Amino acid sequence: MNPFKRLIPPVIILVVIATVGVTGYTLIEGWSLLEAAYMLVITLFTVGFGEVHPLSAAGKVLTMLIIVSGVGTAIYAVGQIGEIIVEGQIFGYRRRKRMERKIREMKDHYIICGFGRVGHQVAEEFEAAKRPYVVIDTKTETADELEPKGIPYVVGDVTSDKNLEEAGIKKAKGLIASADSDTANVFVTLAARALNPEIYVVARAGDVDAGEKLKMAGANRVISPYFISGRRMAALAIRPVASDFLDMVMHGEHLEFSLREITIPDRSPMIDKSLADAEIRQKSGATVLAIRKPDGGFNLQPLAMSKIEKGDILVVIGTQEQLELLEKMVK
């Protein structure tokens, strides 16, 4: 809330007192507006000057009322200003407005609903991939953690339509429902799907039943941490070298190359060309590992004659520069 809204009540009271005082002096004492205004000011600010003219009994009563009510209200207003300055609410309000403006300017970003252990890990992955994101969380500690880093956030109920809209869900590309509660994740998914039917939702599920409900609610992908960790542990035991290689490619912080998904847009110059004709490897240096077709099928062993179609998603590997060059080539 704007901290200066706290000053609205005393300011309104002072305006009323000033209006009554000027009107009273004019009608009761027959003074001019300037004389009445002057008397009002020296009375409110208690400067100790003498009256403009000798006061009648009614005028003295009016002056006492102005002193009691007006001076008290003025002192209260000054106290509120002091509290606003001491508590740093002015600077906090300005920071919050900058944060809201930053979120409004974002598009194709991701929203993390729930900033617990899972949410923190998701944020780390987004940071490594340099993907913009906004965090929604109920804990006030989240603001203290993210504010110094300049990461956009909204503190409040993750299932609230208002908070989701404040996080820019209508322009967001994806949403991560990572709250600790399966119920909250179901409601987040429902709200997100209603506000943005095109958004890609990945939801966390604690058990199988919750996973089914999340899919019914509109989640594109449902992840169970227990299922993933079990499968991961088995893979490390059975295929340790292959698992380590995939870890380095997907999550290595100091590697020069990485995996990326690149979607072929409607007007791409590569449409209806084969991989050989597109010269992806020759011009960008990146390597196409797989192609996902618009119908959901995969070409896991793309050959030189494999044709690129509108809506295909290329799974490619390469350096950051190679991948950025390829993204420019497909547009």
Give pTM, 2 decimals.
0.63
Q: Report pLDDT digits (tens) over 125-143.
A: 898 878 899 999 999 889 8
* Alpha carbons 164 and 117: distance in angstroms, whole number: 21
Q: Are residues 119 and 80 in the same domain?
A: no
Residues spanned by the domain of 309: 256-330
Model pLDDT, residue 53: 82
Average the pLDDT over each of 192-196, 198-202, 224-228 and give the range with the smallest value. 224-228
User: Does residue 130 fall inside a structural domain?
Assistant: yes
Task: Tell me the longest C-alpha to C-alpha distance in the chain.
Answer: 105
Model pLDDT, residue 94: 66
Q: Are residues 110 and 219 in the same domain?
A: yes
Q: Are residues 78 and 116 in the same domain?
A: no
User: Does residue 97 fall inside a structural domain?
Assistant: no
Considering only residues 6 and 135, tell me which one the structure prediction assigns the higher pLDDT. 135
CA angle 106, 146, 175 (to 5 degrees): 45
Q: Are residues 69 and 164 in the same domain?
A: no
Q: Are residues 74 and 171 in the same domain?
A: no
Find the CATH number of the domain harbouring 308: 3.30.70.1450
Model pLDDT, residue 90: 54
User: Does residue 96 fall inside a structural domain?
Assistant: no
* Alpha carbons 17 and 177: distance in angstroms, whole number: 54
Q: Report pLDDT digits (tens) over 218-269.
A: 999 998 877 778 887 888 888 888 877 777 766 655 556 778 889 998 889 9
User: Does residue 262 fall inside a structural domain?
Assistant: yes
Confidence band, pLDDT 50/70/90 cuts, at residue 69: confident
Q: Are residues 296 and 201 in the same domain?
A: no
Find the CATH number of the domain harbouring 122: 3.40.50.720
Q: Are residues 63 and 145 in the same domain?
A: no
For the CA atoms of the chain, what is the radius of gyration?
A: 32
User: Does residue 93 fall inside a structural domain?
Assistant: no
Find the CATH number of the domain harbouring 62: 1.10.287.70
User: Does residue 234 fall inside a structural domain?
Assistant: no
Domain count, the chain: 3
Q: Are residues 127 and 211 in the same domain?
A: yes
* Alpha carbons 305 and 295: distance in angstroms, whole number: 20
Q: Are residues 58 and 125 in the same domain?
A: no
Q: Mean pLDDT in the chain?
A: 86
User: Does residue 21 fall inside a structural domain?
Assistant: yes
Average the pLDDT over each of 13-17, 82-86, 304-308 and give the range with the smallest value. 82-86
Q: Edge to edge, what strands does the sheet with 200-204 contain? A: 153-155, 133-137, 110-113, 174-177, 200-204, 221-223
User: Does residue 236 fall inside a structural domain?
Assistant: no
Element (H, E) at 289: strand 287-292
